[in-house]
Structure 1
Amino acid sequence: MAQGLLISVGGTAEPIVAAIAAHRPEVVCFVCSEQSAEKLGEVRARAGERGLAYRHRLVIVSDPEDLAQCYADTLKAADLLEAEGVPAGEVVVDYTGGTKTMSAALALATVGRGYRFSYVGGDRRDKGGLGVVETGTERVRTGWSPWRLFAVEEKRIFGALFNRHLFGSAAEVLERALAHDPGDRRLLEGLLRVSRGYQHWDAFRHAQAKEALREGLGRIEEWVAYRPTSEYRDIVAPIRANLEFLNRLQQGTRGFRRRHRLQVIDLLANARRRAEVGRHDDAVARLYRALELVGQIAFEEAFGCETGAADPARLPESLQGAYRARYWSEEKGACQIPLMAAFAALAEAGRPEGLRLREREEAFKALLYARNHSILAHGFEPVKPEVPGRFEGLLRETFDLTDELVFPRMP
């Protein structure tokens, strides 16, 4: 049974009545040409003889041989059923009757809406088996739309969102697709977990990201193992490489709790993703943090203390007095050393990080000006689109940051 039936009407009433009898809808929306509309009286009479009652709506296609016009008119018919409050899962589309153009338009207009599809065939046809089904031998075949079965539209939208790094929105598309019990359930479940994993990763929730990616990759690998030509095979290796990066990051940071150089690579990749979607201020904020992290790691290695709680006695002797005077915090009982001062101390100690930054200090100051005057820092000036790329390039060149971290792209 179905609450709604959307059906094209041709020159015979029998298949229409057979479909109504099979599905017993509460409301029927007929798609007719001006000629086939004349059959609706006969349809209602024959349905009444079989005790079939229904409300009906009618759409007349203006040209039954024009695919574009039939498509537009059929969209109106689908909208009429929706206006009746019939859920998509309770609608059956029967494309048996009408011209071939009307049937094609009906399928095209409704295939992505989550409806079921129906066709009236039969055991015997006239004209030597090539004509219409003989009355009394009709057989109704019903199945899900192949669009829904293989989640074609959902996969397309998912891929577009994922490749724009909108991982949460991409995951929501898959959740809706899974609610319809698609044939590719195992694949979609894997893609969903992977999307949630990258959503966690984008928010620096690395432990949750690792678990979700591990689960998702397992499902995807199972699915593609029996489908050697699937385009989703190409995402397995990048996801696996990303998981390996997270494993190394977890080990290097002792459970994502300490500073490590791999965090700099992670920040650079995160900043690039932000820049790719036009969020230049967010990108520069991450790049600033990457620069700061380079300095903090080197500072701790060089002096055995953190920039936020530095013992001035451990600094180069030439800087101890000045740094104590400028940066001493009575509350902390230590010096709190800002970014450029930390790199100056590293340069004075002969560390390569400090010396390299000193060589490019003016270039860094120009980029830091853009950051400091952005709305996310201390000013009101939007960051220009070219700034994140220049900032990342300068960081990589200055500190020899050659590692890359690239998320997969969906087909």
Structure 2
Amino acid sequence: MPKAMIITVGTGKNVEHGICFSIEKQNPDHIIFIVTKESKNKIIPQILENPKVKSKKSEEILLSDENDIEKIYSQCLESIERAKKLGYSPADIVIDYTSGTKSMSAAVVLAGIKKWVGSLSYITGERDSNGRVISSTERSMILEPNKIYADLFFDKGREKGADFSLFRNF
């Protein structure tokens, strides 16, 4: 099944290794990088040099302010809509929020939940003394947010006055 991937891109040391690892694991057909001016100039070229990434279709969305969560959220919603316009259903969109500012990560996850994306990806691993994941120890943590979506449906039903007492014993 064709897949799109939306990835926040920060500027930390060796951040490109984790991003390339995530891309290799998810194997998307199309990648949308959410970038800052600095990550566009310093990190994206390193990512695109990777042979397993080089052959992928990709584009970048440049953030106007990497610390303004409301602006980032709007731009992340736009990136998901862009993927949908390219023919990807929300279920076939994966978001990787590993890299970037905390505002970038929070905004892309919130946008993903709002738009019902299929999965969220976070790269973890053994950490060095600076708290950075050590290259070659990476592992992918995937969350399919179905429980979150079920909770949203349940809450919406409760708002509409649905009687869930039947389910109390489950």
Q: Provide the secondary structure at the position in 2 that maps to 1:77.
A: helix
Q: 1-side partners of 2:169 and 2:27: how far apart?
A: 43
TM-score scaled by structure 1?
A: 0.38
For residues 111-150 of structure 1, the C-alpha deviation after alignment (integer angstroms, 9 at most, x for no partner) is: 132221100001x2111xx5111111111111212xx324
Q: Where do 5+ consecutive residues of structure 2 fail to align?
A: none
Residue 78 (structure 2) aligns with:
76
Residue 24 (structure 1) aligns with:
27
1:51 Cα offset (Å): 6.9
1:79 Cα offset (Å): 1.1
Residue 152 (structure 2) aligns with:
153
Q: 2-side partners of 1:120 and 1:53: how far apart?
A: 22
Higher fraction of strand: 2
Q: 2-side partners of 1:106 and 1:51: how far apart?
A: 21
For residues 275-322 of structure 1, the C-alpha deviation after alignment (integer angstroms, 9 at most, x for no partner) is: xxxxxxxxxxxxxxxxxxxxxxxxxxxxxxxxxxxxxxxxxxxxxxxx
Q: Provide the secondary structure at the position in 1 that maps to 2:114.
A: coil
Q: 2-side partners of 1:132 and 1:3: how far apart?
A: 28
How many equivalent pairs are there?
Answer: 164
Residue 132 (structure 1) aligns with:
132
- Answer with 1 or 2: which has the greater Rg: 1
For residues 4-23 of structure 1, the C-alpha deviation after alignment (integer angstroms, 9 at most, x for no partner) is: 10110112211110111000
Contact 1:19 1:94 in 2 (8 A): yes
Residue 88 (structure 2) aligns with:
86
Percent identity at matched positions? 24
Matches within 5 A, 1:172-251: 221=166, 223-225=167-169
Going from structure 1 to structure 2, the CA distance change for 1:51 and 1:58 (only over 3 Å counts) comes to closer
For residues 45-80 of structure 1, the C-alpha deviation after alignment (integer angstroms, 9 at most, x for no partner) is: 11x1x4762111211111111111111111111111
Q: Where do 5+ consecutive residues of structure 1 fail to align?
A: 164-190, 195-216, 227-411
Q: Please report the RMSD computed on the Cα atoms of aligned residues, expressed in angstroms.
A: 2.1
Q: Provide the secondary structure at the position in 2 that maps to 1:35.
A: helix
Contact 1:2 1:91 in 2 (8 A): no
Contact 1:112 1:153 in 2 (8 A): no
Q: Higher RCO, 1 or 2 (CA under 8 Å, sep at least 6)?
A: 2
For residues 338-372 of structure 1, the C-alpha deviation after alignment (integer angstroms, 9 at most, x for no partner) is: xxxxxxxxxxxxxxxxxxxxxxxxxxxxxxxxxxx
Contact 1:3 1:25 in 2 (8 A): yes
Contact 1:2 1:24 in 2 (8 A): no
Q: 2-side partners of 1:225 and 1:37: how far apart?
A: 53
Going from structure 1 to structure 2, the CA distance change for 1:142 and 1:2 (only over 3 Å counts) comes to farther
